[in-house]
Amino acid sequence: MPGEIRSFIRANAKKVGLIIAALLLFSFVFHGSIKAAVIIPILILAASFSTFYFNYVSLPVNFELVKLATILAAVSYGFLPGIAVGISSTFFGKVLIGRIDEKLPLSMLAIAIIALAASILHGIDITALGISLVLAYNTMMLLVSIMLGGNMAWNLPYEASSFFFNLLLFTKVAPLLLQAMRP
């Protein structure tokens, strides 16, 4: 699998570079901050690559940074940067692990809803907001997975591990990152 990823990146390096440049421009145009234009691509890259472990682990665990990055971007810079981080890191993360499936559009829709909620509720304490939105996301995705015929024995620990990992992130890491991201 790592060889396939390297081949994909090599074959699409110019496109990936253009996408990153477009995201930088997008970030600067819609937020007007060089700091945001630098931080947003870093969030996208970190969140996208945070799912890479799926190439080596086949357990029902989910330790990713997509929700953290999306919520922090939406709270700090607004809905458009938040949705850019959420949708692009969800998509690129799935491409990197080779798991483009029927849940991808639903995951992207759910993360867009989380970005919208985070941008609207940006005045709430980041820990409480993050935990609430992650719980909502994981609950939505668990229900969608079950409705699509997913296995409860796989999906429940998968979504629960995601929630508890994000609980740790939003209690310990998010407040520090939020301070660093704000202008």
Q: Output phi, psi for 181, to 5 deg.
A: -85, -30
Q: Give the single-character DSSP code of 142.
A: H
Whole-number Å distance between alpha carbons of 148 and 87:
21
pLDDT at 24: 63
Q: What is the CATH number of the domain that holds 39?
A: 1.10.1760
Burial of residue 10 (number of CB atoms within 10 Å: 0-12, 13-18, 19+): exposed
Give the number of domains in the chain.
1
Question: Residues of the chain whose pLDDT is less than 50?
Answer: 1
pLDDT at 3: 60
Question: Range of 75's domain?
Answer: 2-181
What does pTM read for this prediction? Answer: 0.85
Place of tokens 């997008």: 26
pLDDT at 1: 47
Q: Which residues have CB under 8 Å from 49's CB, separation 6+? A: 93, 96
Phi-psi region of 32 (alpha: psi -120 to 50; beta: other; left: phi over 0): left
pLDDT at 165: 97
Q: Which residues have CB under 8 Å from 149's CB, separation 6+? A: none
pLDDT at 50: 94
**Tens of pLDDT, residues 116-169:** 999 999 999 999 999 999 999 999 999 998 998 989 999 999 999 999 999 999
The secondary structure of 44-103, three-state, reads HHHHHHCCHHHHCCCCCCCCCCHHHHHHHHHHHHCHHHHHHHHHHHHHHHHHHHCCCCCC
pLDDT at 15: 73
